[in-house]
Chains A and B, each alone.
Chain A
Amino acid sequence: MNDLRWAIRALLRAPSYALPLIATVALSTAILTSTFAVTYGLLLRPLPYAHAERLVRLYNHYGMSNDRGGSMSPPDVADRAASRSFISSGAWQKSSAVLGGGEPLRLTTARVTRGFFPTFGVAPLAGRWSNDDDAVVLSYATWQRRFGGADAIGKTLVLDGRRRTIAAVMPRDFAFPDADVELWEPLVLPPSAYDDSNRGSEYLEMLARLAPGATLQSAQAEADVLSRRLVDRVASRRQFLLDTHWHIVLAGLHDDLVADLRRPLLLLFAAAALVFIIGAANSLALVLARAIARRRESDVRGALGAGPLRAAATRFLEAWVAIAAGGALGLALTYAVVAAIVRNGATLLGHVEVIRVDAPVLLFAFALLALLGAACLGPALGAATLTRWRPQAVKTAGDTLAVRFFRSALVVVEIALATALLSAGALVLVSLRRLAANDPGFNPHGVLTFRIAAPESMRGDNARLVALFGGIQQRIAALPGVTAVSATTVLPLSSDDNTATFHIEGRPEAPGDGMPSGKYRRVLPGFPAALGIKVVRGRAFDARDTPSSPRYAVIDEAAAQRYWPGQDPIGKRITYSELDAQEIRWRTIIGVVGSIRHGSLGERPVPHVYFDALQAADSSMTYVVRSALPASSLVASIRAAVHAIDPSLPVDRILPMDAYVSASLAQPRFGTAVLSAFALVALFLTAVGIYGLLAYLVTERRRELAVRMAVGADERMVLRFVLREGLRLALAGVVVGVIAALAAGRALGSVLYAVTATNPAAYAAVALTLLAVAIVASWVPARRAAALDPALALRVE
């Protein structure tokens, strides 16, 4: 007890030792524990559903596509639901609905089948499941927001003009298909939706629960049998399904949710582990330096009869107290970081509701601290016994050399790890810069976008839809400051998409060949001008195009190069109709526009086909308004223009086009920011390590430096001597680190864009940075050495 009290007192009286040690432990523990909380939560923690390991996702997979899987049609869902491998299943479609009462507000909803909630095996927080078509289920957040947590069961909401009854409220951690969903409404389809003729209408997502005794493999085997049977089910689709290598794919729900996150998260965890090791090396070096500086005290204790452990007790106890204090601070930081991630990370990480600091995370943190505490015993005991417990005859410069070697090795390891981390940071930074520098194919600057969804009553009525969307376009075009306006069904770099295969007139399709396919968009006239896409050949849709004009199509350069290489596609005809259909609706290509990147800035442009929305309007269009005016000054006049046509229409997703570009970079930017932050912390800790070592060396070698001065070394020579020590360590660390980084580079390759993991410029920049940091960190001890009074140093024997 006395030893502990003395240790605390000694620590309080040595802030220059205690504070860096506590800060180092806190920082490195917080970084690794937070990253562990995220990694464990997303990759390892069971989903908050009953026996979540038995939940599987089902996809229509087209082998020609790189996508993991595609949506399903209603008859597909019905087929799969009948599988013996599943005990229950559910399907959903993300949607939106306008909430009435006051300013119209568009809510993000999920339309779900009756089997959806029971399949999860989750009980509602309040209320119960209802088979009523007008019943809705609120998310926890929506319930809190709209009802303040008060009883809402049985209360009504007006959605899309229809009165709906609140049947249940979901628990806080239920966020499926994602955290955006504000309420769930029943998916009610007419019986005709399940006809085989609708197999091409793939818009539903599906999950199922494995039946007792079934495994993912056995369920996949059954799905494979079903796939082969379904290919022949609809004759008109047979060739298409064969050409596209279609089959049903199953994936465990958990694996499916984290498939895209697994590698980046593991990389970040590895980076955080490196930061922790650097912090640990620094901590050990500090404890060692302290123990060496106070070894006379241990000698005295030894002389008074203390055994080796007791003689060193104050040293390792004070280290443990500092580690405990740093650990507590680190855990507080971890709580704050995890809370911030849960609050803001849903867009990037998805199911953040599973991230929290709980028993496994705390256990991990305690294990880290215990490991560090145990490691500190070594230097504390070693230094204390160095003088006292070795015979006088062997107390030579070798002892000092051993300590110096140990500390130098720690610093070299730190520099090597920092080099590896900085290299990774530099590579992802170069990758991000190259990604961001990619031309999206359009000009997003000065473009404001917003979405208009037509009321339920207009859906399917082309004339009314055209009047609505065309009318809005005209009104907005007349607004002062607006230079161009148009609309599209799918905005580039948004999460929406539509891809379809088509036929080219007169071109035979050999069995097994992939059919032509492209992303198709319905656009209002003037779309290229509004979004800043160049018209390469022919023309885009304009005022000449009306609902009664002949059917035209505009394609992009990617489509022209892939399907009409070396030819002029203008005048060629394509169709999305089946070739054996009664009426084939051919569309004549009238223009070629520049290619754009849809999914991300890193994606290769893929073929696009544009139709005139005035001829076949969709129920929802996103407008693009080009104006020199600031977006904020346009919003009110745009709302007024829309409400002049229909005051009940919500204007939602009002965002500058730049925001879509920025959001498309959010994930790589986040990864780069985290990795860069880790690298900077590592650099800082390494600088502290180099400084600490050289300060120790200067103190330890005062006499040697004085002797060098006595035999003629001047201040510059001494300065250079110490700087050279720092640079020597830095060089050794950089060389080891670069070799390690190159060896580990393959792991990074998958997250890099347009830069290889062996990029010499990145490594050169990292090496120079570390050498510069080493010089800066060495400068203060070097100056102190140069300012040494040799007479005094030699006099103090």
Chain B
Amino acid sequence: MTEPLIHLKGLTKIFHSGDVETHALSGVHLAIERGEYVSIAGPSGCGKSTLLSILGLLDAPTSGEYDLGAQPVARLTSFERARIRNRQVGFIFQSFNLVGDLTVFENVELPLSYRGMAPAERRAKVHAALERVGMSHRVKHYPAQLSGGQQQRVAVARAIVGEPSIVLADEPTGNLDSKNGEAVMNLMRELNREGATICMVTHDPRYAKHADRTIHMFDGAVVEDLPLPFAEQAIRESGFELR
């Protein structure tokens, strides 16, 4: 049996605010295989975003183990985390988070420039990524000149340009209308079919169906971990329509 790409063992995250302790994650066990498309669902405050931050090495767990590609990454320094994040993780955010001062090209180039890659190689990869998301005709535009859907496609290009091990998406359709949302979901599905491992947080059961597997969280713990058919069933039982 091959080692999963992501392996969490008893992961906890506690936030301290004055005398108050908030247990955002309470003993999460999770394994995500290479090439999987996983969605994380759950109500607000259940710990989805915290889990995603830890998966993306933006944050460190309070306790527990986290192996990424068989490498333990729970106790790394911030410099080591930044290096791994740069090479192995791609992020897609709900509000796109493109840098307003930079052009489309420069936004997508950003992770590669932190990697110290040669300019010619960077150029080729950026063009390929933008081509991949259908935005190569907007390279000189600024984010403010693009629609929401276009901005999110640029954000997807930025997430995949460095060929990361995993793409983490936090409510990637949250700021989009349904048409653009669907388009982004299709794009992510295609990426997954081409081999990308994707882990997506979403509230919306309509988009959760794009994933192979859905993880339900509640109060900082994984309460259900179902492959797609079972997940669809669970979604229907929860009262949502699947299209």
| A-to-B contact residues, CB < 8 Å | 396-398, 400-401, 703-704, 706-717, 789-791, 794-795, 797
Least Cβ–Cβ distance between B142 and chain A, in angstroms? 7
Find out whether the CB atom of A711 lies under 8 angstroms from the CB atom of B94: no
Find out whether the CB atom of B79 lies under 8 angstroms from the CB atom of A715: yes
Find out whether the CB atom of B85 lies under 8 angstroms from the CB atom of A791: no
Chain A residue at minimum C-beta to C-beta distance from B86 = A712
Find out whether the CB atom of B97 lies under 8 angstroms from the CB atom of A396: no
Across-interface contacts of B86 in A (CB, < 8 A): 711-713
Least Cβ–Cβ distance between A721 and chain B, in angstroms? 10
Q: Mark B178-192, 1 if CB is under 8 A from A, else 0.
A: 000000000000000
Q: Mark B80-121, 1 if CB is under 8 A from A, else 0.
A: 001101110001011101111100000000110011000000
Most B CB atoms within 10 A — which of A398, A789, A797?
A797
Across-interface contacts of A716 in B (CB, < 8 A): 79
Least Cβ–Cβ distance between B44 and chain A, in angstroms? 12
Find out whether the CB atom of B101 lies under 8 angstroms from the CB atom of A713: no
Query: Of B56, B79, B94, B144, which contacts A398 at CB under 8 A?
Result: B144
Find out whether the CB atom of B142 lies under 8 angstroms from the CB atom of A712: no
Query: Of B93, B101, B115, which contacts A712 at CB under 8 A?
Result: B115
Query: Of A401, A707, A714, A791, which contacts B97 at CB under 8 A?
Result: A707
Summed over the interface, the residue pairs from A and B with CB atoms below 8 Å come to a total of: 79
Per the CB 8 Å criterion, the residue count for chain B at the interface is: 32
A397 vs B56: C-alpha distance in the bound complex, in angstroms? 27
B62 within 8 A of A: no
B150 within 8 A of A: no
Query: Of A397, A711, A789, which contacts B143 at CB under 8 A?
Result: A397
Least Cβ–Cβ distance between B83 and chain A, in angstroms? 7
Given A397-B143, A708-B99, CB of A791 within 8 Å of CB of B59: yes
A717 vs B115: C-alpha distance in the bound complex, in angstroms? 11
Between A and B, 7 residue pairs with Cβ closer than 8 Å are A397-B100, A400-B100, A704-B100, A708-B99, A711-B111, A712-B115, A712-B162
Find out whether the CB atom of A712 lies under 8 angstroms from the CB atom of B82: yes
Find out whether the CB atom of A712 lies under 8 angstroms from the CB atom of B79: no
A673 vs B97: C-alpha distance in the bound complex, in angstroms? 52
Find out whether the CB atom of A789 lies under 8 angstroms from the CB atom of B59: yes
Query: Of B56, B58, B100, B162, which contacts A401 at CB under 8 A?
Result: B100
Find out whether the CB atom of B59 lies under 8 angstroms from the CB atom of A794: no
Find out whether the CB atom of B58 lies under 8 angstroms from the CB atom of A710: yes
A444 vs B187: C-alpha distance in the bound complex, in angstroms? 89
Find out whether the CB atom of B83 lies under 8 angstroms from the CB atom of A712: yes
Across-interface contacts of B79 in A (CB, < 8 A): 714-716
Chain B residue at minimum C-beta to C-beta distance from A790 = B58
Given A712-B86, A715-B79, CB of A794 within 8 Å of CB of B101: no
Across-interface contacts of B233 in A (CB, < 8 A): none
Chain B residue at minimum C-beta to C-beta distance from A704 = B99
Across-interface contacts of A703 in B (CB, < 8 A): 97
A436 vs B51: C-alpha distance in the bound complex, in angstroms? 71
B49 within 8 A of A: yes
Find out whether the CB atom of B78 lies under 8 angstroms from the CB atom of A797: no
Least Cβ–Cβ distance between B98 and chain A, in angstroms? 8
A713 vs B114: C-alpha distance in the bound complex, in angstroms? 6
Least Cβ–Cβ distance between A408 and chain B, in angstroms? 12
A716 vs B144: C-alpha distance in the bound complex, in angstroms? 29
